[in-house]
Amino acid sequence: MFKRILYYWYLIQHAMEKTLSPKTLDSQILPGIIDRIKAIFTDYVILILLLLIISNVFSSIEYVPDSIRIASFILLFGLYDPLSTAFLGGTFGHLAMGLRVRQKDDPSKKINLPKAILRFFIKFLLGAISLFTVTGNKNKMAIHDMAIDSIVLFKEKK
């Protein structure tokens, strides 16, 4: 347990050393932890609604094997974040709050699916620990963002 804590501490310290070049963020105001928490809350509401819809569909069918129910649950919770982040530029919570997940080196580009899956996996493993590192670095990047070189930005105003 102690080794794991030291390892996470090392990850946090190493991740905080990574920074963006100033030219990339000259005119950007970066979202803080409150903006991200609002997006997470919105995502939870959406996931619960989707889960209720799936549950109602299964209830209307005479027999649905438990394996199908379990697979649906895992797919919903396991693919919602990576798919929406890779293809839409953020989850529906991000989009609703005006946030976008982008490549750190080229904020005009979305992250690809493998990076979105890795980002979600790290976020899932570290949970709030990753999120709270947003307050500790100047680029407001969580550990899961630093690990794959992504950044969360406000949507550009046109």
Over residues 21-34, the mean pLDDT reads 65
How do residues 89-104 score in pLDDT, each as one tens digit? 999 999 999 999 999 8
How do residues 115-154 score in pLDDT, each as one tens digit? 999 999 999 998 888 888 888 887 888 889 999 999 999 9
Structural domain boundaries of the chain?
2-16+30-154
Query: Is the predicted pLDDT of residue 47 greater than 80, yes or no?
Result: yes
Task: Give burial (CB, 10 Å; 0-12/13-18/19+) of 67.
Answer: exposed
d(CA 97, CA 38) in angstroms, rounded, equals 7
pTM of the complete model beyond 0.95: no
Q: What pLDDT does residue 22 have?
A: 37
Determine the residue type at 145: D
d(CA 28, CA 54) in angstroms, rounded, equals 39
The DSSP secondary-structure symbol of 28 reads P
Residue 21 CB contacts under 8 Å (≥ 6 apart), including other chains:
none
d(CA 135, CA 133) in angstroms, rounded, equals 5
Written as six digits, the tokens of 18 are: 């990574």
